[in-house]
Chain A
């Protein structure tokens, strides 16, 4: 009977211990995820930096700039895609370390925009075959999520399609507002194809396909 009397309390202590253990594991996993993300972003920064140096080298000593640009696109695209996926998964979970998350998200957006400028440059100076989509979305908006699905499917099917997602209402990074005013974004989702075609609202796969071809 004595055991039973304290059962509620002992169960509570046990539950709190298990729960605290769970929170600790979650916190550790968050750290691990943050480290992994940071590593990806660092890699992307290094790639860009190395590219800039190589570009200066070619300017100075001569060489094929377009070949260099082309060789960098694939590596950077992969890094940005992976980082974006990790960030969106992390963002869904209301992480314990929101400050880390905000910092990494901002870094990611800067990397994306830098990559976008490189692609634009590649297209203008080398006339490459890449199709670039700037996708302006709104967090927690159903139509944006659906547009994301469509773009995900498309990027799986088209190797030359590069999709860069920008949170329309991300206010921490002034560069986002610059892009928004540059392309006159008023609704979400909006997609900009190759800096020229603007498609507003939920857009079907067929519409995008006809625009990129």
Chain B
């Protein structure tokens, strides 16, 4: 048997295995996904840190939403870090502070330092037992009920809790595609959390950290492109648990241009590569359970596979176009024989592999929408989401890997 065919069989096996595993886990977990930890009678003080850079249009809305969170007023403190804004952001924050003394402000001048450094500034003056981190550029209006998240901290081994994220008012195609992704990823993360293998605590999800853990393990890594991912991996590395509260929903604004999307994804993927390299001792380490033995290796393997699939598809298309030109030159006007050629036996294995993933993905997506109480929206975009969008993401993995190989300077 040809080595490529053997590889194809292995990939089909792996995709089938992972699909069965995740679907079974979803089946088991779906019943208990909405279960809450025991209620608490004591509310620890929470400091919400909000870094902001030139956000005059939305900062007031975000601040008001955080200050009006459903949590005892005397137990909530908000720290806005004005990171070298050149617009009216600083003034707006000051105006709100005059009306609400729970709001503390740090004005950083001169020089924009980025989210991690800004959050670390806020951490220095935070007095809460728990630290909430929210992206200041989110028009999300933090609706998440803190009361749902705080009880998780009864578990002393818990380092952080994150909420669910949904896309804020998607209008353009690229936003709608991300809407599907966020729904899907939130439920996947909830499943990972059930296996104690959650390795990301995004700011957009209003993540809540235990202050004593941050004091002990150190602040956010300012050199990281994805400081939230790095922090989550660090917590897992040190043996802390991370949970996800599915009913604590926040909305986030996603890039609405291809250029913005490209920049964000390349940053994320480069950040992931750096973080995995930093905590490489977790890979295939039994001490880290499912995360070390399965999730991280799969997360490394999958991008590599996606890069190869992208190269394969692009080169196939180029070859098809080249063949078409040559055959036309030979006096043959080939019909669009793509589908005819797709159904050859080696391609059937690739098709089985792809279809298994797409079908499992579609089922997971439909369940995820139900879990997150969403209706079936944008039915025409589902197939592009599972095909073209994944191809686009794969190409960003390729770009991120190329940037790393070429040592192109990291940009936030």
Is there contact, CB below 8 Å, between A15 and B25?
Answer: no
Count of CB-CB pairs between chains A and B under 8 Å:
66
Chain B contacts for A202, CB-based, 8 A: 326, 330
Bound-state CA distance A67–B21 (Å) is 67
Interface residues on A, range: 20 to 34
CB distance from B20 to the nearest CB of A (A): 5
Is there contact, CB below 8 Å, between B345 and A3?
Answer: no
Q: B379 on the interface (CB 8 Å rule)? A: no
Is there contact, CB below 8 Å, between B326 and A146?
Answer: yes
Is there contact, CB below 8 Å, between B294 and A8?
Answer: yes
CB distance from B156 to the nearest CB of A (A): 19
Is there contact, CB below 8 Å, between A8 and B332?
Answer: no
Give the contacts of B1-45 with A (CB-CB under 8 A): 1-2, 5, 12-13, 16-17, 20-21, 24-25, 28
Give the contacts of B40-54 with A (CB-CB under 8 A): none
Is there contact, CB below 8 Å, between B21 and A204?
Answer: no
CB distance from B221 to the nearest CB of A (A): 32
Bound-state CA distance A153–B17 (Å) is 43
CB distance from B17 to the nearest CB of A (A): 4
Is there contact, CB below 8 Å, between A205 and B330?
Answer: yes
CB distance from A212 to the nearest CB of B (A): 13
Instruction: Name B17's contact: one of A12, A22, A204 (CB within 8 Å).
Output: A12
Instruction: Name B24's contact: one of A11, A150, A206 (CB within 8 Å).
Output: A11
Proximity string of chain B (309-342) to chain A, C-beta cutoff 8 Å, 1 when within and 0 when not: 0000000000000010011011110100000000
Flag the segment in A86-94, A179-187, A191-199 that touches B: A86-94
Q: A19 on the interface (CB 8 Å rule)? A: yes
Q: Determine the main DSSP class of B at the interface with A.
A: helix
> Which B residue sits closest to A93, measured CB to CB?
B345
Q: Determine the main DSSP class of A at the interface with B.
A: helix
Bound-state CA distance A206–B13 (Å) is 47
Given known A-B contacts A7-B28, A92-B345, A146-B330, A14 and B20 have beta carbons under 8 A apart: yes
Chain A contacts for B332, CB-based, 8 A: 149-150, 153, 205
Q: A4 on the interface (CB 8 Å rule)? A: yes
Is there contact, CB below 8 Å, between B16 and A93?
Answer: no
Bound-state CA distance A94–B7 (Å) is 13
Q: B195 on the interface (CB 8 Å rule)? A: yes
Q: A18 on the interface (CB 8 Å rule)? A: yes
CB distance from B241 to the nearest CB of A (A): 14
Q: B344 on the interface (CB 8 Å rule)? A: yes
Is there contact, CB below 8 Å, between A4 and B194?
Answer: yes
Is there contact, CB below 8 Å, between B330 and A94?
Answer: no
Chain A contacts for B352, CB-based, 8 A: 22
Is there contact, CB below 8 Å, between A94 and B294?
Answer: no
Instruction: Name B346's contact: one of A4, A19, A94, A149 (CB within 8 Å).
Output: A94
> Which A residue sits closest to B319, measured CB to CB?
A142
Proximity string of chain B (216-247) to chain A, C-beta cutoff 8 Å, 1 when within and 0 when not: 00000000000000000000000000000000
Instruction: Name A7's contact: one of B16, B21, B323, B346 (CB within 8 Å).
Output: B21
Chain A contacts for B1, CB-based, 8 A: 94
Given known A-B contacts A89-B344, A92-B344, A92-B345, A149 and B334 have beta carbons under 8 A apart: yes
- Could you show 19 A-B contacts with beta carbons less than 8 Å apart? A3-B28, A4-B25, A4-B195, A8-B21, A11-B17, A11-B20, A15-B13, A15-B17, A15-B20, A18-B16, A89-B345, A92-B344, A93-B5, A94-B2, A94-B5, A150-B332, A202-B326, A205-B330, A205-B331
Using a CB–CB cutoff of 8 Å, the interface residues on chain A facing chain B are 3-4, 7-8, 10-12, 14-15, 18-19, 22, 89, 92-94, 146, 149-150, 153, 202-206
